[in-house]
């Protein structure tokens, strides 16, 4: 009898130990978290944002593939950590400041190029959509790696008539600062890397704006009006594929700008003037109505400097006020800019 009781107790003890060992594993398998706020895990970034309190930091720990469009309406820090949100479109709403960091430099947002939010800040055309949309006075600061950290616009605009996709839209009274990152647009007619509405502020300290395909339509930067002293476009470093389009007209730095794609001369005279820091290269041979800008490491100011940096690709780098009549395949250099000054 005693032996039977002992065997029964031993069996129950083994079963209890097995249950204790297996329970955490089963619980972990059932909760596939992609991000955390402190020790609290969430299945998607959208869920984490909704649960977050003002001032919280959200850390991504895995890729988030859920198809969603969601609002961010509180001050937050989002640490992407190199992970991908393949189907996510984000709208930043209200008087908030959101810091988005990507220390790993490989994070990607909306890689499947889903259509984003309808842009209500631009009332003249209801077709405009944004994958990364700032509205209601929001400020977003993206700090990642240029060419690595990427935000994709939608790909649905194939005819320039149905939907006008933008990777990012800066709404009225909003501000977008990119300290390193990339905007990718489809290159169809009417698509843009970034579209700035009236009173929007755009600061590009280190940026790549490119097309996702071999299409040659659209613009790297578009303005619903024009940059102004109060609402400037600031470029410190950049590499741009596609032209700059302005909807409005104005006189900037003594040069009259009218609706359309800005010509080389207008970019040079109206939008680019002396400041300090890295230089920017403008390649007017990129295409007939576009520009290509990339960071130049040389600090150039004299003809001697220019002669010393012509490289094997015969890229000509000159400073503002220097020789700007580059031949096909050559590049000309201007210093970093704040427009509207």
pLDDT digits (tens, 9 = 90+) for 216-226: 888 888 999 88
| Domain annotation covers residue 49 | yes
Q: What is the chain's mean pLDDT, rounded? A: 75
Question: Does the pLDDT value for residue 254 go beyond 50?
Answer: yes
Query: How many separate domains does the chain show?
Result: 1
In a domain, 318, yes or no: no
The sign of the CA dihedral 212, 135, 106, 293 is: positive
Question: Above 80 in pLDDT, residue 210?
Answer: yes
The string of pLDDT tens digits covering residues 146-194 is 888 999 998 766 555 678 899 999 999 999 999 999 999 998 888 999 9
Q: Given this model, what pLDDT does residue 63 score?
A: 97
Q: What is the pLDDT of residues 44-58, one digit of tens each?
A: 999 999 999 999 999
Q: What is the pLDDT of residue 126?
A: 84
Mean pLDDT for 190-212 is 90
- The reply to whether 1 falls in a domain is no
Order of strands across the sheet that contains 150-152: 84-85, 108-109, 150-152, 182-185, 207-211, 238-240
- What value, to the nearest 5°, has the Cα angle with vertex 112 and ends 99 and 47? 50
Residues with Cβ < 8 Å from 224, sequence gap 6 or more?
122, 124, 195, 196, 197, 198, 200, 247, 248
Task: Reply yes or no on whether the pLDDT at 330 is more than 90.
Answer: no
Average pLDDT over residues 325-330: 42
Q: What is the pTM of this model?
A: 0.75
Does residue 340 or residue 240 have the better pLDDT?
A: 240
Q: Range of 43's domain?
A: 36-299+334-338
Q: Is residue 5 part of a domain?
A: no
């Amino acid at each position: 009898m005693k032996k039977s009781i002992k065997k029964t107790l031993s069996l129950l003890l083994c079963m209890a130990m097995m249950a204790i060992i297996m329970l955490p594993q089963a619980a972990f398998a059932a909760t596939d978290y992609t991000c955390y706020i402190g020790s609290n895990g969430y299945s998607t970034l959208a869920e984490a944002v909704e649960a977050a309190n003002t001032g919280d930091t959200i850390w991504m720990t895995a890729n988030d593939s859920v198809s969603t469009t969601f609002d961010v309406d509180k001050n937050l820090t989002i640490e992407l950590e190199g992970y991908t949100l393949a189907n996510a479109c984000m709208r930043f709403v209200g008087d908030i400041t959101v810091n988005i960091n990507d220390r790993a430099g490989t994070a990607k947002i909306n890689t499947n190029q889903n259509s984003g939010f309808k842009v209500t800040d631009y009332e003249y055309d209801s077709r405009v959509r944004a994958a990364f949309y700032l509205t209601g006075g929001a400020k977003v600061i993206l700090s990642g790696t240029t060419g690595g950290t990427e935000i994709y616009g939608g790909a649905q605009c194939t005819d320039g008539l149905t939907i006008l996709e933008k990777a990012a839209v800066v709404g009225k009274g909003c501000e977008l600062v990119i300290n390193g990152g990339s905007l990718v647009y489809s290159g169809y007619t009417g698509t843009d890397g970034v579209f700035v509405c009236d009173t929007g502020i755009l600061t590009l300290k280190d940026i790549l704006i490119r097309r996702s395909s071999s299409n040659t339509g659209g613009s790297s930067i578009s303005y619903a009006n024009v940059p102004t002293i109060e609402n400037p476009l600031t470029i410190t470093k950049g590499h741009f594929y596609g032209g700059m389009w302005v909807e409005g007209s104005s006189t900037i730095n003594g040069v009259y700008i009218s609706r359309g794609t800005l010509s080389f001369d207008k970019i040079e005279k109206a939008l680019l003037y002396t400041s300090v820091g890295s230089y920017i290269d403008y390649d007017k041979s990129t295409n007939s109505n576009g520009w290509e800008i990339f960071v130049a490491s040389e600090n150039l100011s004299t003809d001697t400097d220019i002669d010393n940096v012509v490289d094997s690709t015969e890229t000509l780098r000159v400073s503002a006020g220097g020789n700007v009549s580059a031949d096909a395949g050559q590049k000309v250099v201007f210093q970093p800019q704040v427009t509207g000054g």
